[in-house]
């Protein structure tokens, strides 16, 4: 079953994230993705995540497709003007990459090349509108394309954003732009996520909840400090500090979160710290292997 078929069927979806390399050797990333074979419905490939320079996701998506994976290619508005966005979308489609996750992108000052000039020619809503135009056979200026695309566009949301109203306002604009699915930033508080899910239930868009298994109390505190919208509870941090095996405890916390949000989402998106060595184990714990 393909990713779009899974969305339409109501199947509980599992996706997972990999990142392109910082050089030209993709063998390590392909090996990392190999751990996900048979476990996931699609593999997300990031686009200069956290404003850190990496290889274009188009190449890795294409190579993963050749290896039998369905992919979701991230596309940020930070690094491209509307010409480049359209060119990359056409190139991706020509290579059989049909699922696109649209996002604004972190500001360059947060990354490893802080003097880079941000573009933001289009925002995430406008990029979603562009994809819908291209699916109908038109470019940004309403000129006819030689042939239309058939792209499945997704968007991101932050369930932990407070106040929630501005997040819901922007999300409604994305829905109007024909978004097909939503992947959220990392969920650490099931009650907060379930409040978000209740608020958007009427829009009828599949929501795939982001999950980051914790590895240490130190990394948990760092995420609280550095990532907007992340709020890992002191109880969970204390569990990590007291655990004889913090990695296993982090997996237990993630599995508990998944169990508590599962009735209110159509899938989970695994974003591990340091690789997918424990992703199979987490999915087994949740009965999702």
CA-to-CA distance for 45 and 48, rounded, in angstroms? 10
CATH for 3-207 is: 3.20.20.220
At a CB cut-off of 8 Å and minimum separation 6, what does 108 contact?
51, 78, 114, 115, 116, 117, 118
DSSP result, 191-215:
HHHHHHHHHHGGG---EEEEE----
- Phi, psi of 75, deg, nearest 5: -140, 120
What residue spans define the domains of the chain? 3-207
- Token pair 């890992």 is at which residue? 232
Residues 189-223 as b or e (16 or more Cβ within 10 Å = b) = bbebbbebbeebeeeebbbbbbbbbbbbbebbeeb
Residue 101, helix vs strand vs coil: strand
Are 183 and 174 in contact, with CB atoms under 8 Å apart? no
CA-to-CA distance for 115 and 44, rounded, in angstroms? 28
State yes or no: cis peptide before 163, omega within 30 of 0.
Answer: yes
pLDDT tens for the chain, 289 residues long, are: 789 999 999 999 999 999 999 999 999 999 999 999 999 999 999 999 999 999 999 999 999 999 999 999 999 999 999 999 999 999 999 999 999 999 999 999 999 999 999 999 999 999 999 999 999 999 999 999 999 999 999 999 999 888 889 989 999 999 999 999 999 999 999 999 999 999 999 999 999 999 999 999 999 999 888 876 688 999 999 999 999 999 999 999 999 999 999 999 999 999 999 899 999 999 999 999 7
Are 18 and 60 in contact, with CB atoms under 8 Å apart? yes
Q: Sign of torsion, CA 195 197 200 201?
A: negative
CA-to-CA distance for 281 and 287, rounded, in angstroms? 10
- Phi, psi of 215, deg, nearest 5: -115, -20
CA-to-CA distance for 175 and 159, rounded, in angstroms? 16
Are 254 and 266 in contact, with CB atoms under 8 Å apart? no
């Amino acid at each position: 079953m393909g990713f779009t078929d899974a969305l339409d069927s109501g199947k509980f979806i599992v996706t997972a994230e990999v990142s392109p390399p910082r050089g030209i050797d993709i063998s390590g990333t392909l090996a990392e993705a190999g751990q996900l074979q048979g476990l996931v419905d699609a593999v997300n490939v990031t686009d200069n995540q956290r404003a850190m320079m990496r290889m274009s996701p188009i190449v890795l998506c294409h190579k993963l497709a050749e290896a039998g994976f369905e992919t979701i290619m991230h596309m940020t508005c930070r690094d491209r003007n509307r010409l480049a966005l359209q060119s990359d979308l056409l190139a991706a489609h020509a290579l059989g990459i049909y699922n696109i996750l649209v996002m604004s992108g972190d500001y360059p000052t947060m990354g490893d090349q802080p003097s880079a000039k941000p573009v933001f020619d289009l925002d995430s809503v406008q990029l979603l509108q562009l994809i819908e135009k291209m699916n109908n056979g038109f470019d940004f200026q309403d000129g006819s394309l030689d042939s239309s695309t058939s792209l499945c566009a997704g968007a991101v949301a932050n369930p932990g954003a407070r106040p929630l109203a501005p997040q819901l306002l922007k999300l409604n604009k994305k829905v109007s732009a024909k978004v097909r699915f939503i992947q959220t930033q990392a969920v650490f508080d099931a009650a907060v996520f379930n409040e978000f899910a209740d608020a958007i239930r009427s829009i009828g868009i599949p929501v795939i909840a982001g999950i980051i298994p914790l590895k240490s109390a130190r990394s948990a505190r760092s995420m609280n400090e550095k990532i907007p919208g992340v709020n890992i509870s002191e109880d969970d941090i204390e569990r990590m500090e007291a655990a004889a095996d913090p990695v296993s405890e982090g997996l237990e916390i993630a599995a508990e979160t998944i169990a508590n949000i599962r009735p209110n989402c159509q899938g989970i998106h695994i974003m591990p710290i340091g690789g997918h060595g424990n992703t199979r184990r987490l999915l087994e714990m949740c009965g999702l292997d």
